[in-house]
Structure 1
């Protein structure tokens, strides 16, 4: 019989993966495209909420740096919902995120998103291999959209920035 159970993810590895995600969002929140891209692997990829794909840490830094300098960015608030192993040296992070527009005190529910991160450790520490940003519209499920908005608003009321 094959054992198909996934390997355990150590507390240190889970913390490292969470840390990558928080550093990425901190880079956005400080308006620094290079800091945003810093946690990515050299060949990492980022897929934006509009479907745009950026391949390579330098391309991610350049594009997000351009975005961040063209306009004052909204600030991310986020909650990591789970981190789980995929295989030895690979993990999946699921998070929910909202954006507080400049000069606002509340998130814009139209900008709520689901973030999926694949992190890899190829022996030199954990890096982001893929960030997928998916708009959290929930189509015919306005109850789910309202629940997510309430969850993210609670983060804004507590403190701006990523949580968990």
Structure 2
């Protein structure tokens, strides 16, 4: 359970860095060879590339704030874990989740010499094509966190 809390904490740090629009804060959470796959399919590999991808986004746009709920943390070994979460986004200046950009987050983290780092962060759109009731169900579950 102690390591599960560490994994959740890393994920919360990632979201906090996004919500604060901190490219350094996000990139520093990744392993040197960590990978990020964005909502639009953009892929960045390595801390430097992750920072270079995020920094202009944060510099030129007010990004929506993430609201998330961790659904599971599974350990593949003592040193590798997968976190899965549902996520909504609250646009700048608004107070409600925009269901059209709901997403699923997957995080793979690995411990190396006592430090847990992100190996993979994937942000996948959760539109459930043809099943609008699932979008609404997810949105309502996330609204309870606002």
Same fold (TM over 0.5): yes
Deviations 1:24-59 (A, max 9, x none): 110111111111222111110000111110000121
Matched pairs, number: 146
2:31 to 6, 19, 41: 41
Q: CA RMSD in A?
A: 1.0
Q: Structure 1: which 5+ runs fail to align?
A: 1-10, 157-164
Q: Which residue pairs with 1:97 in the alignment?
A: 87
Distance 1:88 1:75 in 2: 32
| SS of residue in 1 equivalent to 2:144 | helix
Deviations 1:43-95 (A, max 9, x none): 10000111110000121112112111111111111111110111231000000
* Matching of residue 60 in structure 1 with residue 50 in structure 2: yes
- The answer as to whether partners of 1:45 and 1:131 remain within 8 angstroms in 2 is yes
- The answer as to whether partners of 1:34 and 1:62 remain within 8 angstroms in 2 is no
TM-superposed CA distance for 1:123, in Å, is: 2.2
Q: Structure 2: which 5+ runs fail to align?
A: none
TM-superposed CA distance for 1:122, in Å, is: 2.2
Q: Structure 1-normalised TM-score?
A: 0.86
Distance 1:18 1:58 in 2: 24
TM-superposed CA distance for 1:125, in Å, is: 1.3
* Matching of residue 123 in structure 1 with residue 113 in structure 2: yes
| SS of residue in 2 equivalent to 1:144 | helix
Q: Which residue pairs with 2:74 in the alignment?
A: 84
Instruction: Kindly name which structure, 1 or 2, has the bigger radius of gyration based on alpha carbons.
Output: 1
Task: Give the 4+ runs in structure 1 shifted more than 6 A.
Answer: none
| SS of residue in 1 equivalent to 2:6 | helix
